[in-house]
Amino acid sequence: MDHQDKKCLLREKLKVERVTPQRVLIYDIVKDIKKHMHVEEIYELARKKYPKINLATVYRTLKEFKKAGVVDELHLEQDHHHYESA
């Protein structure tokens, strides 16, 4: 799927007009890694490609993705939420 297709998919699922590069990056990370990850892992991978990304952005984006059914949130450890592609 190319970049424009991903943006269209996210616009449709998230019901938003604007899809930021950060949202596309987080989507790519969750889709490409075939395991569940906690937020800090996703954040560290995102920082490699987009060094200015903020941890709060990752949390907020994953919350939006969960609400839209893009990711599943798993409770595998008491204090950590893990995410994987839906």
For residue range 9-62, what is the model confidence (pLDDT) as tens digits? 888 887 877 888 999 999 999 988 878 888 999 999 999 999 999 999 999 999
> Which one has a higher pLDDT value, 64 or 2?
64
* Per-residue confidence (pLDDT) for residue 8, from 0 to 100: 83
Which conformational region is residue 15 in: left (phi greater than 0), alpha (psi within -120 to 50 degrees), or beta? left
Residues near 44 by beta carbon (within 8 Å), at least 6 away in sequence: none
Q: Where are the domains of the chain?
A: 3-85
* Per-residue confidence (pLDDT) for residue 78, from 0 to 100: 67
| Residue 3 clears pLDDT 80, i.e. is over it | no
> Which one has a higher pLDDT value, 61 or 85?
61
Kindly report the backbone phi and psi dihedral angles of residue 28, in degrees, each rounded to the nearest multiple of 5, phi listed first.
Answer: -60, -45
Residues near 21 by beta carbon (within 8 Å), at least 6 away in sequence: 50
* Per-residue confidence (pLDDT) for residue 1, from 0 to 100: 75
Fold designation for 3-85 = Arc Repressor Mutant, subunit A (1.10.10)
